[in-house]
Amino acid sequence: MQSVIIENVNKKYSDKIHALKNISFDVQKSEIFGLVGPDGAGKSTLFNIMTTLLFADSGSVNLLGYDVETDYLKVRQVIGYLPGVFSLYPDLTVEENLRFFAVMYKSSLKENMELIRPIWRQIEPFKKRKAGKLSGGMKQKLALCCALIHKPELLFLDEPTTGVDPVSRKEFWEILKNIQQKGITVIVSTPYMDEATRCDRVCLMQSGEIIKIDTPFNIIHDFKGELYSLHTTTIFPLLQAMEHCPVKSIYYPYGEYLHVVFYENHQNILPKFIRFLNENNLNYSNINKISPSIEDCFIELIELKKM
């Protein structure tokens, strides 16, 4: 059963800013579906359209059988939304915020406590603290409780772990898995490529376009090149030299490493590449073939599209 059906959605903010270009996909019930891409990819614009906060220029969005434009009041009753910025009342306590949203949705803490209990246990010790005084991770957990207090069928999370510490990020994703088990469909956007592997399916986006939609496993399995990593303490001279490398490749910095993707026979091409490095007196060590990550796959898809 499909919880979300999006067909040919377009959105322009001006003649020069085409935020969304013919976006189409569907999301199955109880699926964790990820929108993954860098800032400016169009994720938040798409979220605003799906959550009835913005009209598309063309195309259609259907959530749980309701059109987001003609049935927007019904849509708002069956979805939960955690926006990209903290949007609760900072001068109200944790408990006051939760009770306020329960009343607003004509629900109650008692009625839906079972759904939010695993999250509530973590923030209950701070229930008398002002929401504005919470840590980043605790703020997101409170916001998630408020988004779930009316037991929505569909939950939208716009970059929920941005600015959150690694431990809280891990906890947050464990919470999402528990929510999924309750039968709630989750759509989450993130700029963090490593989080894509936690989704059932991901939609990779760039400059308002869909690059690929598939499971994380299939995206990694479809990587076309041979990926190598080499450590260097002089990344910028190495990048400059790579502009003149005779070996056809895609290359990009990855922390203190350079990732290089070859598309010719790597048994013959690797010695040629090493000879190029040595002839140019480039500092490097530990050239190893490695398995690609989602981030490597994303970069490959973008770069191959340019070729």
Segments in the chain forming alpha helices (H) = 43-50, 72-78, 94-104, 109-123, 136-148, 166-181, 216-221, 235-242, 266-279, 294-306
Instruction: Name, in order, each residue with C-beta under 8 angstroms of 250's C-beta and a sequence gap of 6 or more.
Output: 225, 260, 261, 299, 300, 303, 304
The conformation of residue 14, written as its DSSP 8-state character, comes to S
- Give the dihedral sign, CA 7/201/161/163: negative
pLDDT tens by residue, 115-155: 888 889 889 999 999 999 998 888 988 999 999 999 999 99
pLDDT at site 175: 87
pLDDT at site 191: 85
pLDDT at site 264: 81
pLDDT at 290 over 80: yes
Residues 258-286 have a mean pLDDT of 87
Residue of 106, 90, 109 lying closest to 98 (CA atoms): 109
pTM tops 0.85: yes
Residues 245-274 have a mean pLDDT of 88
Confidence label for 87 from pLDDT (cuts 50, 70 and 90): confident
Confidence label for 266 from pLDDT (cuts 50, 70 and 90): low
Q: Which residue has the higher pLDDT, 113 or 50?
A: 50
Give the Cα separation of 7 and 20 in Å (integer).
12
Percentage with pLDDT > 90 across the chain: 68
Confidence label for 177 from pLDDT (cuts 50, 70 and 90): very high
pLDDT at site 233: 87
Average pLDDT, the chain: 92
pLDDT at site 85: 84
Q: Which helix (H) or strand (E) holds 163?
A: none
Confidence label for 293 from pLDDT (cuts 50, 70 and 90): very high
Q: What domains lie within the chain, and their CATH numbers? A: 2-215 (3.40.50.300), 224-291 (3.30.70.270)
Confidence label for 49 from pLDDT (cuts 50, 70 and 90): very high
Residue of 276, 235, 279 lying closest to 258 (CA atoms): 235
pLDDT at 60 over 90: yes
